[in-house]
Amino acid sequence: MLISVVVALSLLGDQLLYAVLPVMHEAMGIPVTAVGVILSANRLVRLVTNSLSGYIIDRFGRRWPFIGALLLGGLTTIAYGLLSGVWGFLIARLLWGTAWSFLRIEGLSTALDVATHDTRGRMMGIFQSISRLGGAIAMLVGGFLTDTIGFQLTFILFGVVTCLAAVIAYVEMASRDRHGKAYVKASPEQTRTNSPQPESPPPTTISTLGATRRIAYWRLIVISWCTFSTLLVIGGLVTSTLGYMLQQRFGSSTSIGSITLGVATLTGVLLGSRGFFELIFAPIAGSLSDHWGRHRIVFVALPLGALLVTFYSLFSSLLALTATTFLVFLCSITLNVTFNAVAGDIAPLDKRSMFLSLFVTFQDLGAALGPLLGYLIAPKLGLSWLYLSGAVTLAIASGLYLITFRPTRYEPEIAR
């Protein structure tokens, strides 16, 4: 729980920048043409640093890379309040993206450490929910403080809070080390003895199937492709083109009864609803995956997501599009939590950090490519073809997941 809170605090500066930079870019010495580059730089650098972080954590242990990443995150947040100009902010964003690679892997690893097989989904949901809380605090409190004391002092304050969180995390992790808990790099023998075991067939089943680590690698590739597809379509294509789609359908404003809403306001409300849903529903989705079985949840949610995305090309009423958006977001949250838990199930304990680093790299790649492809396809082929293409992508992922994780008479528990 403490690690989740610390990770949430590390997001204060990053999330506030998304709210402040587009509005105050001139005061920060940044031309409007560079805003998108600066906001996306941290995500792009993670395509490289995710694998690097996995290697470093496996090589040197988890405590010091995590503490170092927290301090780096705090310093980059302070830098937002002190720097001016494109290059300073660009370097700070690249450093923050590097720090986040370590922070996210530690957060996921800690959730796996404290969870059993039967609680892994719930713990992943709690981590995701608490992490999202950091963004909510940044938007609400950070926006108020920016208007009150200015963005410079607000960023410096948030950076100091993150650095203090690093000190608290160090004390807590050192205490757990002294009590023999797995915050330092454990040997394979210690790991097998002390850590929860990932979902796997019993020894007799492994012998019967001739299973090797290659099976785990293949399953990791499949689950990574599925999470890539989900982030590409829902986290990228749908989210980035939602406002464009509403503007194409309704113009600059639309009416709900006697109330007239601007499309920008409506888009903000719909996109903001995802954060609220994630805070509330992520732990619930995780618990459902524990109770009903992770693979069963995916077998339902992934094809359902594909179907819902097609509705954007079929419906034109505001009510239908709003309901579709809410359901798409709920599907996405459910899939993200469940995919994280499945990745924890199949990752070999002695290579968990490397597995997770590859897994989250696919997530970042999908989220980064989604907006780019969305605005390449939509103006040329139209929104209907864009959403149908997204639905086909999710349908392919559904079939691949079903083939890979379907229950067999040799390992019936794999359907759980």
Q: Nearest-CA neighbor of 330 among 298, 307, 301, 297?
A: 301
Per-residue tokens: 70 = 């927290």
Do 385 and 283 lie in a common domain? yes
Mean pLDDT of 269-298: 86
pLDDT at 338 over 80: yes
DSSP 3-state assignment of 315? coil
Check residues 70 and 271 and name the one with the higher pLDDT: 70
- pLDDT tens by residue, 260-276: 767 767 777 787 778 78
Integer Cα distance of 314 and 319 in angstroms: 13
Dihedral sign from CA coordinates of 69, 72, 74, 77: negative
pLDDT of residue 368: 81
Domain that includes residue 73, residue range = 2-194
H/E segment holding residue 115: none
Contacts by 255-258, CB closer than 8 A, 24 or more apart: 256/318
Do 137 and 103 lie in a common domain? yes
- pLDDT tens by residue, 156-186: 999 999 999 999 888 877 776 666 544 444 4
Do 234 and 106 lie in a common domain? no
CA atoms within 13 A on the CB side of 289: 34
Do 151 and 212 lie in a common domain? no
pLDDT of residue 411: 44
CATH of the domain at 252: 1.20.1250.20
- pLDDT tens by residue, 103-121: 988 888 877 777 777 788 8
Mean pLDDT of 87-97: 94
Distances (CA, A) of 334 to 93, 107, 109, 119, 338: 29, 18, 19, 15, 6
User: For tokens 């580059």, what's the residue?
Assistant: 37
Do 209 and 177 lie in a common domain? no
Dihedral sign from CA coordinates of 16, 17, 21, 27: positive
- pLDDT tens by residue, 308-337: 999 998 988 888 999 999 999 999 999 999
Cβ distance 63 to 369 under 8 Å?
A: no
- Split into its structural domains, the chain has a count of 2
User: Confidence band (pLDDT; 50, 70, 90) for 188?
Assistant: very low
- Residue after which a domain boundary falls, among 176, 194, 212: 194
Mean pLDDT of 199-214: 47
User: In this structure, how many other beta carbons lie within 10 angstroms of the beta carbon of residue 47?
Assistant: 15
Do 98 and 161 lie in a common domain? yes
According to DSSP, the residues that pair with 255 across neighbouring strands are 260
Do 36 and 178 lie in a common domain? yes
pLDDT at 23 over 80: no
- pLDDT tens by residue, 134-143: 777 777 788 7
pLDDT of residue 413: 45
Distances (CA, A) of 158 to 164, 190, 314: 10, 38, 45
Do 246 and 267 lie in a common domain? yes
Per-residue tokens: 253 = 């404003």
- pLDDT tens by residue, 24-44: 888 889 887 787 778 778 888
Mean pLDDT for all residues in the chain: 81
pLDDT of residue 178: 66
Cβ distance 331 to 226 under 8 Å?
A: no
- Residue after which a domain boundary falls, among 142, 171, 194: 194
- Residue after which a domain boundary falls, among 162, 194, 226: 194
Do 220 and 279 lie in a common domain? yes
Do 264 and 347 lie in a common domain? yes
Q: Nearest-CA neighbor of 133 among 326, 244, 4?
A: 4
Do 188 and 222 lie in a common domain? no
Question: Mind giving me the DSSP string for 241-282?
Answer: HHHHHHHHHHTTEEEETTEEEEHHHHHHHHHHHHHHHHHHHH
Cβ distance 309 to 234 under 8 Å?
A: yes
Check residues 240 and 210 and name the one with the higher pLDDT: 240
pLDDT of residue 266: 77
According to DSSP, the residues that pair with 259 across neighbouring strands are 256
According to DSSP, the residues that pair with 16 across neighbouring strands are none
pLDDT of residue 407: 66
Cβ distance 357 to 227 under 8 Å?
A: no
Do 84 and 207 lie in a common domain? no
